[in-house]
């Protein structure tokens, strides 16, 4: 690294030498540098050179309310002025996190009455693993310590959660998964042997879960974790009815179910939570991203009442349950969360549902493009899977780095999408997106696909 004074170095140079980016290829980052983003308004981002691009991915599927929403900025500013920090430790609390916990309990599926606030999704998942461990110790079943999740799943980057994540890049070099972390096949319709026979796909996951629980011993299995739609694995959309069938299987097998709604929560798939669409009430739910629309960091772990009561009953009144962060329930984040939820209820969810129909129309149309093998989505979440051969579904040759090329092409054409390494392009626009803006997104993506050919 250069030790020249900071003032003599460009932003890109300082970044290259000092900032470790999330999931970055270290040497690649040194070579290519980054596109520095400077400001945003609604669906639009402006980079440090003054160039405007449309953001079809809401930052990292989080800015659900869009950029530059003044009322969110005001809510944060007001809270910072009045009380920028309040601990939830000891006998203290503050209004905003208390109100937000109440609001989440009201909105969430029936039994999820108790909220623990985190800084994002990874520590929400990690907190759930800790509380689940505590719960089974509390009810006298300390041998129930095995966890099962799905292939292609993503549950964050914490030292424990990254092992339930099933994307190899999060395991490589990190000694994961751990021996108590297991994975079963994903309900990935396009690549599933049962194809688009919904009932068969659903039955296959139920059978895989039953088999895994049998193999590990029902007395040893604590919980099953899943996303309602697998986001970071490439927007993998299970058939309708899948989540409900898995809920029933978990109950039958005597294991807890955690639904990770970090991406799907807060209107991303239409309703407030993806669980709502199937009337599913899990034992745990994890939330982040849309909770504060990305304006400030915050996540939440929701715990069902029966779990809470069991932990409470097993602990003497003056003995703390030892899990807590300095910034759990941060008042500024909570004030932002309350305002963001007000915006969702005040029209953003409805607009997302309407524009989501336009997204579905575009996905259906683009399916005939020679490079497109599959399109899928729900609400304001969608994906295109590119293939080398539409008949055989042969994936694109990863050595051609088409994902990297497509990232650069789409950026050059003025649109931000997420290009997954296996040749999937993901869409997750803000819920404030208009139908015209959705047309702009697809116009620019299609131009990029044509240039890739």
186 vs 232 by CB, closer to ligand PLP: 232
Q: Shortest approach of ligand PLP to residue 153 CB, angstroms?
A: 8
Phi and psi at residue 300, to the nearest 5°: -150, 145
Q: Is 64 in the site for ligand PLP (CB under 6 A)?
A: no
Stretch that binds ligand PLP, among 69-77, 119-127, 175-183, 433-441 (CB under 6 A): 119-127
Residues 91-110 that bind ligand PLP (CB under 6 A): none
Please, which residues have CB within 8 angstroms of residue 233's CB and are 6 or more apart in sequence? 151, 152, 153, 154, 166, 167, 186
Please give the C-alpha separations between residue 201 and each of 7, 125, 207, 393, in angstroms, as whole numbers.
58, 26, 10, 18
Helix axes 242-253, 198-216, angle to 10 degrees: 20
Residue 75 vs 263, nearer CB to ligand PLP? 263
In the bound state with ligand PLP, the residue whose beta carbon lies nearer, of 282 and 373, is 282
Please name the residue that has the structure tokens 């309602």.
228
Instruction: Establish if 126 lies at the interface with ligand PLP (CB under 6 A).
Output: no
* Binding residues for ligand PLP restricted to 364-423, rule: CB under 6 A: none
Write down the least CB distance from residue 83 to ligand PLP, Å.
Answer: 25
Terminal alpha carbon distance of the chain = 39
Of 190-198, 255-263, 432-440, 444-452, the segment contacting ligand PLP by CB under 6 A is 255-263
**Using CA atoms, how far apart are residues 64 and 429, in angstroms rounded to an integer?**
7
Q: Report how far apart, in Å, the C-alpha atoms of 354 and of each of 50, 56, 144 are.
A: 31, 16, 44
CA distances from 32 to 16, 78, 359, 408 (A): 9, 40, 32, 11
For the chain, how many residues are written? Answer: 453
Residues 223, 258, 262, 272: which binds ligand PLP (CB under 6 A)?
262
Using rule CB under 6 A, residue 231 touches ligand PLP: yes
Nearer to ligand PLP, 121 or 379 (CB): 121
d(CA 238, CA 70): 37
Out of 97, 120, 294, 377, the only residue in the binding site for ligand PLP (CB under 6 A) is 120
Q: 100, 166, 263, 301: which one contacts ligand PLP (CB under 6 A)?
A: 263
Give least dist CB 427 to ligand PLP, A. Answer: 15
CB of 286 to ligand PLP, least distance (A): 6
Closest residue to ligand PLP: CB criterion: 121
Binding pattern for the stretch 153-192 against ligand PLP, x by CB under 6 A and - elsewhere: -xxx------------------------------------
Task: Determine, following the binding rule CB under 6 A, whether residue 437 of this chain makes contact with ligand PLP.
Answer: no
Contact 310, 139 (CB under 8 A): yes
Total chain residues near ligand PLP (CB under 6 A): 15
| Residues in contact with ligand PLP, shown as a per-residue x/- string from 132 to 151 under the rule CB under 6 A | --------------------
Q: Which is nearer to ligand PLP, 260 or 385 (CB)?
A: 260
| CA torsion angle 23 24 26 32 (round to 10) | 180
Which of residues 286 and 351 has its CB atom nearest to ligand PLP in the complex? Answer: 286
Q: Closest Cα partner for 282 from 152, 416, 415, 108?
A: 108
Q: Which of 104, 209, 288, 372 binds ligand PLP (CB under 6 A)?
A: 288
Contact 167, 150 (CB under 8 A): no
Alpha-carbon gap, residue 423 to 418, rounded angstroms: 10
CA dihedral 226, 231, 232, 233 (to 10 degrees): 70
Nearest to 155 by CA among 137, 190, 135, 181: 181
Q: Does 232 bind ligand PLP (CB under 6 A)?
A: yes
275 binds ligand PLP (CB under 6 A): no
Please identify which residue in 64, 69, 79, 122 interacts with ligand PLP, judged by CB under 6 A: 122
227 lines the binding site for ligand PLP (CB under 6 A): yes
Helices 435-452, 349-366: axis angle to 10 degrees equals 30
Answer for which of 126, 260, 278, 437 binds ligand PLP (CB under 6 A) is: 260
Kindly list the residues in this chain that would bind ligand PLP in the complex (CB under 6 A): 120-122, 125, 154-156, 227, 231-232, 260, 262-263, 288, 299
């Amino acid at each position: 690294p250069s030790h020249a004074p900071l003032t003599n170095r460009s932003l890109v140079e300082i970044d290259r030498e000092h900032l470790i980016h999330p999931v970055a290829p270290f040497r690649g980052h040194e070579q290519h540098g980054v596109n520095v983003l400077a400001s945003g308004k609604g669906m639009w981002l402006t980079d440090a050179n003054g160039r405007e691009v449309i953001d079809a991915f809401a930052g990292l599927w989080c800015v659900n309310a869009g950029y530059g929403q003044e009322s969110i900025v005001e809510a944060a500013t007001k809270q910072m002025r009045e009380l920028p920090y309040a601990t939830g430790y000891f006998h203290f609390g503050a209004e905003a996190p208390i109100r937000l916990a109440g609001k989440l309990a009201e909105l969430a599926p029936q039994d999820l009455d108790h909220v623990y606030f985190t800084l994002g999704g990874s520590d929400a998942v990690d907190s759930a693993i800790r509380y689940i461990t505590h719960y089974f110790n509390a009810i006298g079943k300390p041998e129930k310590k095995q966890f099962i999740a799905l292939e292609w799943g993503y549950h964050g980057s914490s030292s424990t959660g990254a092992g339930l994540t099933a994307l190899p890049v999060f395991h490589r070099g990190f000694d994961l998964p751990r021996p108590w972390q297991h994975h079963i096949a994903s309900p990935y319709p396009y690549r599933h042997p049962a194809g688009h026979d919904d009932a068969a796909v659903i039955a296959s996951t139920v059978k895989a879960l039953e088999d895994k629980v049998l193999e590990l011993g029902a007395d040893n299995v604590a919980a099953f974790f899943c996303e309602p739609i697998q986001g970071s694995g490439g927007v993998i959309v299970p058939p309708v009815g899948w989540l409900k069938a898995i809920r029933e299987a978990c109950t039958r097998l005597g294991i807890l179910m955690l639904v990770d709604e970090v991406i799907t929560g807060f209107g991303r798939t239409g309703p407030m939570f993806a669980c709502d669409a199937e009337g599913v009430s899990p034992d745990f739910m994890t939330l982040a991203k849309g909770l504060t629309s990305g304006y400030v960091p915050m996540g939440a772990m929701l715990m069902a009442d029966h779990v809470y009561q069991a932990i409470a009953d097993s602990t003497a009144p003056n003995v703390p349950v030892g899990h807590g962060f300095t910034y759990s329930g941060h008042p500024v984040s909570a004030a932002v969360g309350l305002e963001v939820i007000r915006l969702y209820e005040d029209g953003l969810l409805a607009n997302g549902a309407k524009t989501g129909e336009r997204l579905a129309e575009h996905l259906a149309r683009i399916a005939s493009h020679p490079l497109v093998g599959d399109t899928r989505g729900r609400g304001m979440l969608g994906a295109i899977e590119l293939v080398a051969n539409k008949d055989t579904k042969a994936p694109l040759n990863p050595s051609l780095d088409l994902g990297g090329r497509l990232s650069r092409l789409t950026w050059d054409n003025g649109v931000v999408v997420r290009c997954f390494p296996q040749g999937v392009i993901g869409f997750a626009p803000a819920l404030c997106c208009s139908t015209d803006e959705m047309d702009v997104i697809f116009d620019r993506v299609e131009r990029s696909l044509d240039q890739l050919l």
